[in-house]
């Protein structure tokens, strides 16, 4: 028995009128079958074929071992979901409808044995009038049957149609199954460089039979848009202006003449009615009713992201009322009052005068206030969305917030996030940069495809627009910097056509889906891009992209940076200079504890075939194993990184050695990301005025070598701890030029007001002795402005007597206030620098000691003999927990108390007994 996501079950339809009859199709009385394969098993709705086959033990765990490849026969087959006879249908309704919130993807639907319709878009809602079919069904069983075609087959069929579009080689990044760009289905279902390819088919969202009387309607979707009077998309919002609340209901059925909308806005506990009334003269079409009202600015409290203020929320209830004052439908949405915009305006004279480089801005402003976005990229948390529970998302969001993150970019080639995900983000204050599901490919633009996308985009924009955590709509992933750039390079003669097609879809179809439904949300066609060149809301095409039309010396847009040559670690001149960083990274191995959940004991070797096959980074989409260990693959890159920078693990026990190698890849990953986070944070105070750092990627979809900072079950890699540390409000960090020996240190702050403090510098050897170096600064007092950075050290390492035995500890202590708080507090941060890689460092045994106090529920770690780098508390399988701090450094004699948070525990608390401690020193030890 599988646990269905509670939110799927709860997302029921609202109904009020007596004769209205809604029969939910959610439940376990379904059958999944494939006649050709002679399979027929009990099934559920919502579900996926692989999950029902797994539940019925026709197949093993899809995520285990090489099942990603072994289960491809499921991908190439058709699967039929058949209901039990549907009970409770009335024979005298004036109309009967089937309503599907999501079918993945190509279906042929029949009811009472009669064909109803076919569908071809995972992301659309579908509703069909089956009144006539029900009438002629008479006393027969009312059976609904949904045949799902093979999306992989159908994608190939569409691609092979005569005259179908093709693209220059290399433009479309295709993974395990090709031609995904012809199909409106989660693009990563076809494989991605961090995940498996299951191309799953099934009714993945709830469904209903809806029966209506005369003059009755069913609201199937709704929109609430809250913005400041006079606000326009993508432009700074006029703070202090009244709020406009626009509400719109999408319905089917027959709406009686003269219907209107009333509303009630209540506090989050429903105890106070903030405002109530009519939504004015409504605009009514055959499918929507729209009205609006205004509220004085001070009628409500603002919603703020985490760390910037309170997450004030309200309930907005909208009633659709007939001329005779009968309530026809009621919709309640939980809303927040905030403005969030992506400011891409040209840098103004005032900003130039502050030292900001010319060009255009590219940053977010919440309630008129620019802020530094700290976060990561969110990928689909499971290959099968029906398994994604609110608890899973809530834990992930708590993990992100515990990591000092305030924004996630919900990457654009998964699925549109469910409402419960935005609800949790609204409550926790996590901003969700959202995207339409297009990425790493150019897309066809034939009329039927565009019409299909238009329906999808309109539905999704309206469904989630009311959530205050919704931050942005972006068209697709890496469209301009990768796909178009590659096309321009490899096929310049085709480029004008491909660029025009790109604009047809991303500016001609997706932009109007946002601007036509919402005034509150900004849009950009591509993440990453150089932003817009012109923005004019009264022009037929409001946005014209800049592309590469850049002025020398000016700074534009976002950066996206990958470099798998590990020699670039810490080489800041190789890092991109932009206004915002939305992707950067390097992959690492998950822990031994995680590996053991999904692969066999015999495969626990760094380059075992199973692990090579699960590293989807760079091997082309084939199973040619001889190619996998060559220099372009992920395993090779991780190995290179360790050889260049870290002591090489060489343990006698093969599992211990495997585990040490996994761990070493995590150390390099943490080093690579922190050096970039530090660089982007310093950029807040440099002319490029960088105001964001979102690394790739927050979490894993399975157990595999990937860019994730959080493993599939929720265990933190070293990266997540390291990013937490560099996402503290005030940090100090070293910046080093290995060639010249020029070493500087900067303090960066993302507070909104200035902070004062002292930076201290201590030179040490690995034994922990303080070194007295000529002309070195011991401490510096400084002031750092809000969203700014300041240099606190400048020196050269050229005269160090023994660079391999030299460490600089940098510390900062500063007084400042968090955003929207007038309370002064102390912010502390430390960082450690070595002029050479740790592979050549004169490491000694730091004499780590670990103890645990039952009373304070704290671990205490002490370095008794020397400096300990990358101190790592490890814990056994059976629990998921995270320490308050991990992967840190300790000076000799330094003692650190470390608390922890338990996410799940099947060991009845005994996991604490298995906690161990190690540092970089242990990496080289034989055992
Ligand atoms: C498989 O499904 C597709 C799409 O629904 C349909 O066109 C095709 O006829 C089906 N094939 C079989 C053998 O049922
Ligand atoms: C407030 O009322 C709305 C609409 O009836 C309901 O959905 C919500 O759960 C209620 N919230 C609380 C905290 O009672
Ligand atoms: C109704 O439509 C008219 C014309 O399109 C528009 O001017 C007006 O603002 C709309 N009213 C509402 C409440 O949407
Ligand atoms: C409907 O309700 C409104 C407000 O309560 C009232 O002014 C109006 O007279 C009512 N109309 C009818 C037809 O009862
Ligand atoms: C396309 O390539 C040309 C030639 O290198 C370059 O000048 C132009 O800026 C490129 N256009 C885009 C949109 O990248
Ligand atoms: C490039 O941008 C400038 C404004 O900065 C504009 O005048 C010019 O028309 C643009 N060129 C193209 C090819 O769009």
For residue 569, being part of any structural domain is answered with no
Question: Looking at ligand 2, which residue's alpha carbon is closest to its atom 2?
Answer: 270
Question: Looking at ligand 6, which residue's alpha carbon is closest to its atom 3?
Answer: 549
In this prediction, the residues of the chain whose per-residue pLDDT falls under 70 are 1-18, 618-632, 926-927
For residue 1, being part of any structural domain is answered with no
Tokens found for residue 701: 């979809």
> Tell me, what's the pLDDT at 926?
61
Question: Looking at ligand 3, which residue's alpha carbon is closest to its atom 5?
Answer: 283
Instruction: Cite the active site residues.
Output: 478
108 CB within 6 A, ligand 1? yes
554 CB within 6 A, ligand 6? no
Pair (815, 863) in one structural domain: no
Question: Looking at ligand 2, which residue's alpha carbon is closest to its atom 5?
Answer: 332
Ligand nearest to the CA of 423: 2
> Tell me, what's the pLDDT at 618?
65
∠ at Cα 454 (450, 456), nearest 5°?
115
H-run or E-run covering 23? strand 21-24
Ligand 1 pocket test target in 147, 151, 157 with most atoms within 8 Å of CB: 147
548 CB within 6 A, ligand 5? yes
For residue 353, being part of any structural domain is answered with no
Ligand 2: residues with CB < 6 A are 269-270, 315, 317, 332
What does the alpha-carbon distance between residue 728 and residue 749 come to, in Å, rounded to a whole number?
9
488 CB within 6 A, ligand 5? yes
Of 160, 194, 210, the residue at which a domain comes to its end is 210
548 CB within 6 A, ligand 6? no
Pair (827, 855) in one structural domain: no
Q: What percent of the chain has pLDDT over 90?
A: 93
Which atom of ligand 1 is found nearest the CA of 149?
A: 2
Bridge-based pairing state of the strands 888-890 and 916-918: unpaired
What is the 550 CA–ligand 6 centroid distance (Å)? 9
Of 833, 856, 885, the residue at which a domain comes to its end is 833
What is the 553 CA–ligand 5 centroid distance (Å)? 18
Pair (125, 144) in one structural domain: yes
Q: What domain range is 781 assigned to? A: 592-681+712-833
Of 210, 228, 255, the residue at which a domain comes to its end is 210
What does the alpha-carbon distance between residue 671 and residue 569 come to, in Å, rounded to a whole number?
8
Instruction: Classify 836 as helix, strand or coil.
Output: coil
Contact 579, 691 (CB under 8 A): yes
Ligand 2 pocket test target in 266, 270, 419 with most atoms within 8 Å of CB: 270
> Tell me, what's the pLDDT at 12?
42
What is the 385 CA–ligand 1 centroid distance (Å)? 24
What is the 886 CA–ligand 5 centroid distance (Å)? 46
What is the 154 CA–ligand 1 centroid distance (Å)? 9
What does the alpha-carbon distance between residue 867 and residue 767 come to, in Å, rounded to a whole number?
6
Ligand 1 pocket test target in 74, 76, 78 with most atoms within 8 Å of CB: 78
Pair (537, 611) in one structural domain: no
What is the 15 CA–ligand 4 centroid distance (Å)? 22
Question: Looking at ligand 5, which residue's alpha carbon is closest to its atom 8?
Answer: 548
Question: Looking at ligand 3, which residue's alpha carbon is closest to its atom 4?
Answer: 283
120 CB within 6 A, ligand 1? no
> Tell me, what's the pLDDT at 617?
86
Strands (E), 269-391: 273-278, 283-284, 288-295, 314-321, 327-335, 340-343, 363-366, 369-370, 373-378
Pair (310, 400) in one structural domain: no
| Residue 493, CA atoms < 13 Å, CB-side half-sphere | 0
Pair (224, 199) in one structural domain: no
Ligand 3: residues with CB < 6 A are 280, 283, 290-292
> Tell me, what's the pLDDT at 573?
93
What is the 317 CA–ligand 4 centroid distance (Å)? 19
Ligand nearest to the CA of 289: 3
Nearest-CA neighbor of 337 among 312, 368, 362? 312
What is the 20 CA–ligand 5 centroid distance (Å)? 59
Pair (822, 861) in one structural domain: no
Q: What total of structural domains would you count in the chain?
A: 5
Pair (307, 395) in one structural domain: no
Pair (139, 93) in one structural domain: yes
Tokens found for residue 630: 């060559």
DSSP per-residue codes, 208-241: EEEEE-TT-EEEEEEEEEEEETT--TTS---TTS
Which atom of ligand 2 is found nearest the CA of 332?
A: 4
What is the 577 CA–ligand 6 centroid distance (Å)? 22
Residue 738 CB contacts under 8 Å (≥ 6 apart), including other chains? 570, 571
324 CB within 6 A, ligand 4? yes
For residue 577, being part of any structural domain is answered with no
Pair (71, 201) in one structural domain: yes
DSSP per-residue codes, 361-422: --EEEETTEE--EEEEEE--SSSSGGG--HHHHHHHHHHHHHTT--EEEE-TTS-PPPHHHH
Pair (448, 548) in one structural domain: yes
| pTM summary value | 0.96
> Tell me, what's the pLDDT at 632?
66
For residue 347, being part of any structural domain is answered with no
For residue 573, being part of any structural domain is answered with no
End-to-end alpha-carbon separation of the chain, Å? 43
């Amino acid at each position: 028995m599988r646990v269905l996501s509670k939110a799927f079950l709860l997302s029921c339809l609202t109904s009020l009128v007596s004769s209205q009859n809604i029969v939910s199709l959610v439940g376990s009385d379904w059958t999944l079958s494939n006649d050709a394969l002679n399979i027929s098993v009990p099934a559920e709705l919502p579900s996926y074929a692989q999950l029902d086959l797994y539940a019925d033990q026709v197949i093993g765990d899809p995520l285990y071992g090489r099942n990603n490849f072994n289960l491809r026969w499921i991908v190439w087959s058709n699967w039929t979901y058949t209901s039990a006879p549907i009970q409770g249908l009335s024979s005298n309704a004036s109309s009967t409808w089937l309503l599907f919130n999501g079918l993945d993807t190509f279906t042929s639907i029949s009811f009472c044995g009669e064909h109803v319709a076919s569908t071809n878009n995972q992301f659309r809602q579908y509703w069909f009038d089956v009144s006539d079919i029900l009438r002629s069904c008479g006393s027969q069983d009312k059976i609904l049957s949904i045949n799902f075609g093979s999306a992989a087959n159908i994608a190939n069929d569409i691609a092979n149609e005569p005259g179908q579009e093709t693209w220059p080689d290399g433009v479309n990044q295709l993974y395990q199954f090709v031609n995904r760009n012809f199909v409106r289905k989660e693009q990563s279902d076809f494989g991605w460089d961090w995940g498996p390819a299951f191309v799953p088919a099934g009714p993945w969202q709830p469904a209903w039979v809806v029966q209506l009387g005369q003059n009755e309607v069913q609201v199937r979707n709704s929109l609430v848009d809250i913005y400041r009077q006079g606000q326009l998309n993508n432009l700074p919002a006029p703070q202090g202006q009244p709020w406009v609340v626009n509400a719109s209901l999408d319905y089917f059925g027959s709406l009686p003449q003269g219907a209107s909308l009333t509303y009630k806005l209540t506090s989050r506990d429903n105890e106070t009615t903030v405002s109530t009334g009519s939504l004015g003269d409504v605009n009514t079409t055959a499918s929507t009713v729209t009205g609006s009202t205004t509220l004085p600015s001070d009628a409500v409290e603002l919603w703020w992201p985490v760390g910037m203020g309170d997450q004030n929320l309200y309930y907005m209830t909208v009633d659709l009322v007939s001329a005779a004052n009968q309530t026809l439908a009621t919709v309640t949405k939980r809303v927040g009052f905030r403005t969030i915009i992506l400011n891409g305006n040209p840098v103004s004279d005032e900003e130039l005068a502050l030292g900001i480089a010319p060009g255009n801005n590219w940053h977010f402003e919440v309630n008129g206030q620019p802020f530094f976005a700290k976060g990561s990229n969110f990928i689909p948390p499971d290959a099968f969305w029906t398994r994604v529970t609110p608890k899973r998302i809530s834990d992930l969001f708590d993990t992100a917030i515990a990591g000092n993150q305030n924004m996630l970019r919900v990457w654009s080639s998964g699925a549109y996030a469910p409402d419960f995900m935005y609800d949790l983000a609204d409550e926790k204050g996590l901003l969700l940069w959202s995207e339409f599901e297009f990425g790493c490919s150019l897309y066809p633009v034939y009329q039927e495809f565009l019409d299909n996308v238009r329906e999808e985009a309109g539905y999704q924009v309206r469904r989630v627009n009311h959530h205050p955590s919704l931050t942005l709509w972006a068209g697709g992933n890496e469209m301009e910097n990768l796909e178009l750039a590659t096309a321009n390079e490899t096929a310049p003669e085709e480029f004008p056509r491909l660029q025009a097609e790109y604009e047809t879809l991303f500016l001609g179809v997706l932009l109007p889906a946002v601007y036509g439904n919402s005034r509150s949300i900004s849009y950009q066609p591509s993440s990453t891009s150089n932003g817009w060149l012109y923005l004019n809301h009264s022009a037929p095409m409001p946005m014209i992209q800049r592309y590469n039309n850049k002025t020398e010396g000016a700074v534009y847009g976002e950066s996206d940076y990958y470099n798998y040559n590990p020699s670039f670690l810490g080489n800041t001149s190789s890092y991109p200079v932009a206004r915002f960083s939305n992707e950067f990274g390097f992959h690492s191995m998950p822990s031994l504890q995680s590996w053991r959940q999904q692969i066999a004991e015999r495969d626990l070797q760094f380059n075992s075939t199973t692990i090579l096959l699960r590293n989807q980074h760079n091997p082309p989409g084939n199973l040619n194993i001889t190619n996998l260990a060559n220099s372009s693959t992920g395993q090779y890159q991780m190995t290179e990184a360790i050889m260049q920078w870290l002591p090489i693990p060489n343990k006698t026990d093969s599992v211990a050695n495997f585990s040490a190698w996994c761990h070493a890849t995590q150390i390099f990953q943490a080093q690579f990301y922190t050096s970039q986070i530090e660089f982007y944070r310093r950029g807040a105070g440099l002319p490029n005025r960088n105001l964001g750092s979102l690394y790739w990627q927050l979490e894993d979809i399975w157990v595999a070598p990937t860019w994730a900072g959080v493993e599939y079950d929720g265990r933190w890699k070293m990266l997540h701890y390291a990013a937490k540390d560099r996402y503290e409000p005030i940090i100090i960090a070293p910046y080093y030029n290995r060639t010249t020996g020029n070493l500087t240190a900067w303090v960066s702050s993302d507070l909104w007001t200035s902070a004062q403090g002292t930076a201290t510098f201590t030179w040490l050897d690995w034994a922990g002795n303080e070194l007295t170096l000529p002309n070195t600064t011991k401490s510096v007092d400084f002031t750092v402005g809000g969203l700014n950075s300041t240099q606190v050290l400048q020196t050269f390492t050229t005269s160090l007597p023994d660079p391999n035995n030299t460490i600089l500890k940098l510390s900062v202590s500063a007084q400042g206030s968090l955003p929207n708080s007038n309370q002064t507090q102390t912010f502390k941060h430390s960082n450690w620098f070595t002029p050479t890689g740790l592979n050549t460092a004169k490491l000694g045994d730091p004499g780590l000691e670990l103890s645990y106090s039952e009373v304070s529920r704290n671990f205490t770690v002490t370095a008794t003999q020397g400096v300990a780098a990358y101190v790592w508390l490890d814990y056994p399988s059976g629990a998921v927990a995270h320490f308050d701090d991990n992967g840190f450094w300790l000076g000799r004699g330094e003692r650190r108390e470390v608390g922890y948070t338990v996410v799940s525990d099947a060991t009845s608390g005994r996991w604490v007994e298995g906690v161990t401690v190690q540092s970089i020193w242990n990496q080289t030890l034989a055992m």
